[in-house]
Amino acid sequence: MTLIPAAALLLDAALGEPRWLWHRLPHPAVLMGRCVGALDATLNQGRARRLRGVGAVVLLVVGAATVGWVLQQAGWLIEWLAAAILMAQRSLVDHVSAVARGLRRSPAEGRNAVAMIVSRDTAGMSAPQVARSAIESASENLSDGVVAPLFWLILCGLPGLMVYKMVNTADSMIGYRTPRHEAFGWAAARLDDVLNLAPARLTALLIAALTGGLSRWPEIAADARRHRSPNAGWPEAAMARALDVALAGPRSYDGQMRDFPFVHPTGRHGIGAAEIDGAVAILWRVWAALLAIALAVAPLGALPFTG
């Protein structure tokens, strides 16, 4: 493994996701999504849907681990490129920054930009709601798209990274509690929760440590435990206190308003593009800390299960 994680962070930060490449070739995340979709269409029917969902996740995990192992055997260059492609720092920064730019022009442009990165209804959002949504997305995707992939890459090599991304993709597609997926998607959602337990808390710890907020860890933990997700609340609560803003709160999904509580309710509510910029700056500070961690563990060589 050695320098592969650090090199992957650097390449992703430099190039992100080049449009010229992914307009010509399917992105690995797209291929993973096709695998999940095929199993959903084939197995999510009839009786014992939860058991069928468990079987689907087993197939996805074995397949992802096998592909990761094969790519790892192809040499350091292929391993490096594959790992970099599955990191999301640059694309996350680009998408979140686009919301700030749009919001500076008009609330409507801000809403259009944030609609690219959140699943909630955006048509009726005010400027502060747009900003909150962008910052929440930045926080959660920092964990899911950067910290967790690096965590599993360092711990288990490219197979571990591939498995994490496959499970995370499955959760995003079938992990919702809808009539169609509540049973079939149960295994994907629960395994995604397990794989994100440590990375989500590590993300919160890094945000707090890098912004002088470690003294507020009990408050961060209390807010995180009240969140509807066992993991997403950790980076969100840490980011809210780092910026002294109130996040979450009521929002609409599919035309139905949900009365979610605010995270750090005493923080500022009237926020905008400047606070989004502050979140982006924190994304880069955490990225720099991750790079330092990756370089620090490089001399240890291959960790258990990395091959």
Tell me the percentage of the chain whose pLDDT exceeds 90: 81
pLDDT for residue 303:
53
User: Of 284, 295, 153, 292, whose CA–CA distance to 207 is shortest?
Assistant: 284
pTM for this predicted structure: 0.93
Helix axes 217-226, 233-243, angle to 10 degrees: 130
The 10s digit of each residue's pLDDT in 234-249 is 999 999 999 999 998 8
pLDDT for residue 301:
61
* DSSP code of residue 260: P
pLDDT for residue 305:
47
Domain boundaries, the chain: 4-300
Long-range contacts, stretch 14-19, CB < 8 angstroms, 24+ apart: 14/90, 15/84, 15/90, 16/90, 16/91, 16/94, 17/85, 17/90, 17/91
The 10s digit of each residue's pLDDT in 164-203 is 999 999 999 999 888 899 999 999 999 999 999 999 999 9
Contacts of 1 (CB under 8 A, 6+ apart): 153, 154, 157, 298, 301, 302, 303, 306
- State both tokens at 64: 């992802």
The 10s digit of each residue's pLDDT in 196-223 is 999 999 999 999 999 999 999 999 999 9
Contacts of 122 (CB under 8 A, 6+ apart): 111, 112, 114, 115, 130, 133
